[in-house]
């Protein structure tokens, strides 16, 4: 075999030994200060952000660097803090859905679902099965869209720029589907307390099936580009490993926890919204490095495609929102004929429905982890406290442990694979 | 097969005269009046300003800056194959403010972020423009509370406001095209002239301040790196 | 966790920690809440994490709430999760604005780091023993605790034609 092949076979892909740069490789007398011998390095404190291409929003990281090695990381957040939780206390329950949607701005359906579900728990409201299936369809499509955006920007950070164009191309198709069902691409206000806002239009199912038929081959294309790519493997394998107990202590959930080996997914463990009717697997990683996180999310895209397929096949007939007129708006055609419907409509639009006093905490599995919504109701038409337990906020604490001691390039890869969304972190 | 002959504009003799004068030009035989006439008939005369603003508007370099949900739509405009901003010349996103001309404020401006945005804006070199994208950057949007600056125009001069929550990618592109119109129509540089903003100099400890006292009467009204020229 | 299970947990906590640790229990619509006295929070959570026969090893969420007008005003909730038994339990304490001190649980659950900082930032609850007690989301020199109920919402008045002459613009 040729010379080149012989040489190629002799190269093994191993880990890069990281040693501090201070004085170990310099010859004595090479212009280095006598004080800067091994062990007495100068640390450089530098701000990564808040305006930086790789920080996925306005995250500021105060790092101290020793050469290329990151010694300490201190995330400083709050640059896009909008006071959403406080604003919600001033709005009626159904108006607060629009506020809450804008927290984690890539997974808006999940925010809306967690909130609506908490209100439904407080009201003791039943959601009809058709509405549940429609919610599942939209949530899983949103999961695919969120993972695609993560893939595009994450790969962009590591250097695979092509992925951004491909991922945005698919994302546009999904956003078209959302526009078809609710009129808006983003922040669609489609989930209401008690069900969904409107039934799906006639061509929706056909378009979704068309999208689903293309999606697996597209995922194959992405994997063909990145899975065995030498540069990708070097950048993501064996980097950013945090032991599983530490992750559990830090409160990390979602693909990060699953990549470390723990098969915890709220859709399977504590099912909600008729997820128990669907047959899907949970991808789990083994090593817990960045490559596993990438593989887990790619496999999740495939599983979500399967779930939407099953939901479309089994979509039951029936009402798309609860029939309780004290909570849900009556359909428009009834307003012309029934006086009661008019009164209900008026009451709901001006004052809103009242929720009996109580507290509820409901958690769902968003693309980033456990998204919980805590509502305190005091008997009036406005919530007394809305708090979202955002997964990115809690997962950010793991960044310290992932990044300290690694080189900057690995640290950027960790940040890309962590998938933080600053809207959720800062709320 | 039918062959139709249409008349070229002008008659045969004019055409022949044009050909002759072109031959003379190439040989270098035209002088004085004849040369002037030749140039007048053929070249498109334009003012240097117009040419400059035509070049500027078709090569806007946005600053890569995104705050919240509108940033996702901005990335869709720049990056998605369907809405492609490179048709209009604005695909080069530079992340350093020294190299960019356009700041697209996409997202909610919180009180912690406002001084940073101002600093980024100050670091950009003239000519520079600002598009305030979305409802949260133009006014407070739906978040009328303690944590936001109600509209970026409280501390930045904004050229184009694009409403929406978030605005569709087509809406943002329309905003950028409107900005291009604005560049052709008003080619003065320096935002202090564009907005006739007297009395807007920063007072305080600016390291590069060329003014000793804030109320000193001087012909240089501005202080700092982006003092207006002329 | 159902109502009887909750009562049994409360009894076990009383036996193991102290009689005055558990102030009350609440169960509604499937959500179990254990009310705990403020100085005992750390011990109760340690017991629930390690020593109970039905341990809860994961702190899912730590958040604050302002219960104005009912006293004591500031409440802090700890939402515990057991992944093995797929069960949730909420632990709640209430402190007053004059004495807003609680023991920090960052040594038991490192996830509480950012979340306690958030509770301090927005409600003013001071966690003793927290490794990094400073504001997290508001600017560091901000005065006031925004999510308290008596903190004004802020923002600008919406200008209509009938009231726009009442509010001077920023350039006036």
Q: For residue range A32-88, what is the model confidence (pLDDT) as tens digits?
A: 444 444 455 678 888 887 887 766 788 888 888 888 888 888 899 989 998 899 998
Confidence of residue B87 (pLDDT cuts 50, 70, 90): confident
pLDDT digits (tens, 9 = 90+) for A113-125: 999 999 999 998 8
Residue A334 CB contacts under 8 Å (≥ 6 apart), including other chains: A341
Predicted pLDDT of residue A9: 67
pLDDT score, position B230 = 32
Distance CA A421, CA A55 (A): 10
Is the pLDDT higher at B52 or at C65?
C65
Q: Give the Cα separation of A310 and C87 in Å (integer).
A: 28
- List the single range of A131-135, A141-145, A227-231, B86-90 with lowest mean pLDDT: B86-90
Picking from B79, B95, B165, the nearest residue to A168 by CB comes out as: B79
For chains A and B, CB pairs below 8 A equal 94
Whether the complex's predicted ipTM is more than 0.95 is answered with no
The pTM of the full predicted model, rounded to 2 decimals, is 0.83
A20 CA to chain C: closest CA distance, Å?
A: 27
The shortest C-alpha distance from A83 to chain C (Å) reads 8
What pLDDT is attached to residue A150?
Answer: 92
- Rounded to an integer, the average pLDDT of B54-69 is 84
Work out the mean pLDDT of chain B and round it to a whole number. 75
Structure confidence by residue, pLDDT tens digits, A274-322: 899 899 999 998 888 889 999 999 999 999 999 999 999 999 998 888 8
What mean pLDDT is predicted for residues A179-208? 90
What is the pLDDT, as a whole number, of residue A27?
42
Q: In this complex, which chains have at least 3 CB pairs below 8 Å with chain A?
A: B, C
Asked if C158 reaches chain B (Cβ–Cβ under 8 Å), the answer is yes
> Which residue of chain C comes nearest to A119, CA vs CA?
C29
Contact B95 A86 (CB under 8 A): no
Q: How many CB atoms are located within 10 Å of the residue C164 CB?
A: 11
pLDDT for res A149: 92
The whole-number pLDDT of residue B41 equals 64
Q: Which of A264, A269, A374 sits opposite C63 (nearest CB)?
A: A374
Mean pLDDT of chain A, nearest integer: 86
Distance (Å, rounded) from C-alpha A88 to C-alpha A325? 23
Q: Which of B116, B136, B147 sits opposite A51 (nearest CB)?
A: B116
C110 with A264: Cβ contact below 8 A: no
Do the chains contact at A372 and C61, CB–CB below 8 Å? Answer: yes
Question: Residue A210: its pLDDT value, please?
Answer: 93
Please tell me the predicted confidence (pLDDT) of residue A303: 93
């Amino acid at each position: 075999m040729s010379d080149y092949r012989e040489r190629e076979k002799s190269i093994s892909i191993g880990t890069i030994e990281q040693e501090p740069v201070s004085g170990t490789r310099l010859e004595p007398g090479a212009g280095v200060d006598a004080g800067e011998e091994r062990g007495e390095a100068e640390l450089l404190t530098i701000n990564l952000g808040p305006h930086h291409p790789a920080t996925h929003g306005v995250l500021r990281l105060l790092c101290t660097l020793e050469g290329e090695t990151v010694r300490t990381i201190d995330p400083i957040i709050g640059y896009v803090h909008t006071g959403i939780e406080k604003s919600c206390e001033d709005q009626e329950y159904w108006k607060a859905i629009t506020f809450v949607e804008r927290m984690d701005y890539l997974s808006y359906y999940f925010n809306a679902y967690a909130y609506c579900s908490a209100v439904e728990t407080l009201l003791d409201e039943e959601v009809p099965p058709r509405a549940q299936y429609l919610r599942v369809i939209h949530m899983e499509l949103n999961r695919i869209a969120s993972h695609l955006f993560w893939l595009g920007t994450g790969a962009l950070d590591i250097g695979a720029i092509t992925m951004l164009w491909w991922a945005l191309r698919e994302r546009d198709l999904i956003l078209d589907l959302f526009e078809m069902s609710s009129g808006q691409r983003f922040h669609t206000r489609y989930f209401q307390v008690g069900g969904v806002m409107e039934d799906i239009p006639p061509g929706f199912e056909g378009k979704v099936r068309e999208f689903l038929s293309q999606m697996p081959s597209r995922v194959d294309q992405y994997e063909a580009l990145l899975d065995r790519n030498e540069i990708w493997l070097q950048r993501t394998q064996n980097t950013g490993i945090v032991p599983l107990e530490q992750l559990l202590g830090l409160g990390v959930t979602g693909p990060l926890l699953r990549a470390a080996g723990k098969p915890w997914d709220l859709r399977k463990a504590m099912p909600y919204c008729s997820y128990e009717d669907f047959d899907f697997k949970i991808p789990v990683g083994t090593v817990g490095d960045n490559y596993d996180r990438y593989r887990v999310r790619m496999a999740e895209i495939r599983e979500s495609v399967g779930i939407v397929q099953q939901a479309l096949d089994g979509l039951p007939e029936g009402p798309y929102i609860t029939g309780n007129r004290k909570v849900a708006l009556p359909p428009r055609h009834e307003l012309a004929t029934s006086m009661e419907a008019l009164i209900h409509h008026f009451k709901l639009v001006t004052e809103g429905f009242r929720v009996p006093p109580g507290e509820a905490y409901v958690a769902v599995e968003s693309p980033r982890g456990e998204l919980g919504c805590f509502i305190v109701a005091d008997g009036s038409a406005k919530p007394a406290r809305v708090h979202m337990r955002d997964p990115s906020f809690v997962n950010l604490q793991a960044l310290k442990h992932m990044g300290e001691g690694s080189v900057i390039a690995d640290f950027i890869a960790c940040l890309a694979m962590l998938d933080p969304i600053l809207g959720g972190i800062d709320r | 097969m039918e062959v139709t002959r249409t008349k070229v504009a002008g008659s045969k003799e004019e055409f022949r005269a044009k050909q002759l004068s072109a031959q003379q030009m190439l040989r270098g035989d035209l002088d004085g009046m004849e040369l002037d006439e030749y140039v007048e008939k053929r070249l498109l005369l334009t003012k240097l300003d117009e040419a400059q603003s035509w070049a500027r508007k078709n090569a806007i370099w946005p600053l890569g800056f995104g705050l919240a949900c509108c940033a996702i739509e901005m990335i869709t405009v720049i990056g998605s194959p369907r809405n492609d901003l490179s048709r209009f010349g604005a695909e080069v996103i530079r992340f350093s403010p020294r190299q960019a001309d356009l700041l697209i404020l996409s997202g909610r401006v919180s009180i912690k972020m406002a001084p940073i945005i101002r600093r980024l804006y100050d670091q950009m070199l003239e000519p520079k423009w600002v598009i305030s994208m979305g409802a949260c950057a133009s006014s407070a949007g739906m978040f009328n509370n303690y944590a936001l600056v109600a509209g970026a125009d409280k501390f930045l001069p904004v050229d184009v406001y694009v409403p929406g929550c978030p605005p569709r990618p087509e809406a943002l592109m329309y905003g950028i095209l409107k900005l291009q119109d604005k560049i052709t129509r008003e080619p003065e540089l320096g935002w202090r002239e564009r907005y006739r903003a007297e009395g807007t100099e920063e007072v305080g400890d600016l390291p590069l301040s060329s003014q000793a006292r804030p109320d000193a009467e001087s012909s240089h009204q501005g202080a700092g790196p982006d003092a207006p020229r002329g | 966790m159902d109502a009887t299970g909750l009562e049994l947990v409360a009894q076990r906590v009383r036996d193991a920690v102290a009689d005055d640790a558990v102030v009350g229990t609440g169960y509604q619509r499937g959500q179990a809440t254990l009310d705990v006295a403020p100085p005992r929070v750390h011990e109760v959570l340690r017991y629930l994490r390690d020593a109970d026969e039905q341990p809860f090893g994961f702190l899912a969420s730590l958040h604050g709430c302002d219960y104005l007008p009912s006293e004591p005003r500031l409440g802090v909730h700890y939402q515990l999760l057991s992944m093995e038994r797929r069960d949730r339990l909420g632990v709640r304490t209430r402190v007053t604005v004059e004495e807003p001190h609680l023991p920090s649980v960052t040594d038991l659950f490192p996830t509480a780091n950012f979340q306690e900082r958030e509770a301090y930032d927005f409600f003013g609850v001071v966690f003793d023993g927290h490794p990094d007690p400073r504001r997290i989301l508001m600017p560091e020199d901000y005065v006031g605790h925004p999510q308290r109920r008596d903190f004004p919402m802020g923002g600008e008045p919406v200008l209509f034609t009938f009231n726009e002459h009442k509010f001077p613009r920023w350039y006036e």
